[in-house]
Amino acid sequence: MILTILKWAVPVILMILLAAAALTKKTFHVETVIPVSPAAVWAVLIDTQSYPEWNPVFVAVEGELRSGATVKNLVRFPDGSTVDMSATIKGFEEGRELRQYGGTWGLMTFDHQWLLEPVEGGTRVIQHEVDRGLILWTWNSDWIEPAYQSVLDALAKRVAETQDG
């Protein structure tokens, strides 16, 4: 009897966990307007060699930014610790979009986008991310939007410096 129950209970529990992993998500969104053209913002954004000089979160990037490529991002947390995160470039549209996807399905994945939109007075710069997976049940992600906003602030400052120089 117990074996019979286990034969159907284990697959049902696994299906519930898989469904929960797929349905659990958190969305993060920050944006700003930088008073320059999208091309000027894009030039700074794709110059990953200079990230250590200005980017407070994505402190280093290894690999080529092109559709289908894999890159390694060194991400700094608010406590100063860092972690390497591999990502695949899922979207790369010159002057418009840089989209990276990575993680381990079921546990935690991220789909991070940089979007540039021309608007009156400059460029709307958006960081939009959707994280999914079971780890989100216990992970405190309260730091992400403020950290991403600090990246936008640093990007705006860096773009202004490149325009002045």
The answer to whether residue 15 sits within a structural domain is no
The pLDDT of residue 87 is above 90: yes
What is the reported pLDDT for 21? 64
Q: What is the CATH number of the domain that holds 69?
A: 3.30.530.20
Q: Rounded to an integer, what distance in angstroms lies between the CA atom of residue 93 and that of residue 47?
A: 15
- Would 40 be classed as within a structural domain? yes
pLDDT digits (tens, 9 = 90+) for 97-136: 999 999 998 889 999 999 999 999 999 999 999 999 989 9
Within-domain flag for 52: yes
CA dihedral (14, 129, 79, 142) positive or negative: negative
Is residue 139 assigned to a domain?
yes
Residue 16 within any structural domain of the chain: no
Q: Which residues of 36-59 are buried (b: 16+ CB within 10 A; e: fewer)?
A: bbbebbbebbeebeebeebbebbe
| Model pTM above 0.75 | yes
For residue 83, the model assigns a pLDDT of: 95
Whether residue 6 is contained in a domain is answered as no
Confidence at residue 24, expressed as pLDDT on a 0 to 100 scale: 83
Decide if 110 is inside a domain.
yes
Tell me what pLDDT residue 6 has: 61
What domain count does the chain have?
A: 1
Full residue range of the structural domain in which residue 132 is found: 25-164
Confirm whether 1 is domain-assigned.
Answer: no
